[in-house]
Amino acid sequence: MGFLFVITDLKFTFAAQTNKIKQIRFMKKFLLCALTAFTFCSVKAQEVKNTIKINPLSALLRTGSVFYERKVDDGMSVQLGVAYTGIKLDDTKFTGLAVTPEVRFYLKKHAPAGLYAAPFLRYQNYTVSDDADEGKYTSFGGGAVMGYQWVFGSGFALDLFFGPSYNNGNYKASSGSDEPEIKGGIEGFGLRTGVTIGFGF
C-alpha cells in the first residue's frame, strides 16, 4: 500500500509539474505575441509621415472640418486645418470658412504620435447675419494647444487637443445699421478644443 501511495504521489507531482511547464510556455508565447504586436505598432507609427483627420464632434455645431498633417522630422510636424460652418449663436448666424495652420512639436520625438505642443494661426471669413443686419466678418488670430495623438498599427489615428485662442477681426455691413453680436470665441479670447479621428500613411 505504501508503495502505491508513493507512485500516486509521484503521478500527481509529475502532473502538477507538467501543468506548470505548460502554463510557463503559454505565458512565454503570450508575452512574445504581445511584444511582437507592440513592436509592430511602434514601427508602424514611426513609418507614418502623413495623417488625414476629421472632427466628428464639430458636426454638432453645424461645422465640417478636415486636417492634413505632414511629418517634418522626428520632433516636428506641420498641419493645416480647414473648416466650413453654418453655426448659429443665439440670434446670430455665421456662414463661411476658417483656415488654421499650425506647427507641432512632439516632446518625445516620435512624430506624428505622442504628446505635443502646437502654436497655431487662424484666419476666418464669415457672412454674419441676424434678424435685421447682415455683413462680412474677417479676422486673424492664433493661440497654442497641448495634445496627444495615437497612431495605431492599423493606421487609425486619434488626436485630442485643447488650448487658448484669440481672434481680432473687422465687420463690414452690407445691410442694416447695427453690427450683429459676435462672440463664442469667434471674436476675442476663446478655447480651442477638439477630438479628431482619421488614418495615417
Model confidence at 84, pLDDT cuts 50, 70, 90, reads: very high
pLDDT, residue 24, reads: 67
Model confidence at 28, pLDDT cuts 50, 70, 90, reads: low
Write the single-letter amino acid at 103. Answer: V
In angstroms and rounded to an integer, the radius of gyration of the C-alpha atoms of the chain is: 28
pLDDT digits (tens, 9 = 90+) for 144-199: 999 999 999 899 999 999 999 999 999 998 887 778 888 777 899 999 999 999 99
pLDDT higher than threshold 70 for residue 37: no
Model confidence at 125, pLDDT cuts 50, 70, 90, reads: very high
If you classify domain 50-200 with CATH, what class do you get?
A: mainly beta
Q: What are phi and psi of 129, to 5 degrees?
A: -150, 150
pLDDT, residue 109, reads: 95
Model confidence at 12, pLDDT cuts 50, 70, 90, reads: very low
Q: Cα 97 vs. chain centroid, distance in angstroms?
A: 21
Percent of the chain residues past pLDDT 90, beyond the cut: 61
Domain extents for the chain?
1-47, 50-200
**How many contiguous H segments (helices) and E segments (strands) does the chain have?**
1, 9
pLDDT, residue 5, reads: 44
Model confidence at 110, pLDDT cuts 50, 70, 90, reads: very high
2: which residues sit within 8 A by CB, 6+ positions away?
none
pLDDT, residue 69, reads: 98
Write the single-letter amino acid at 153. Answer: G
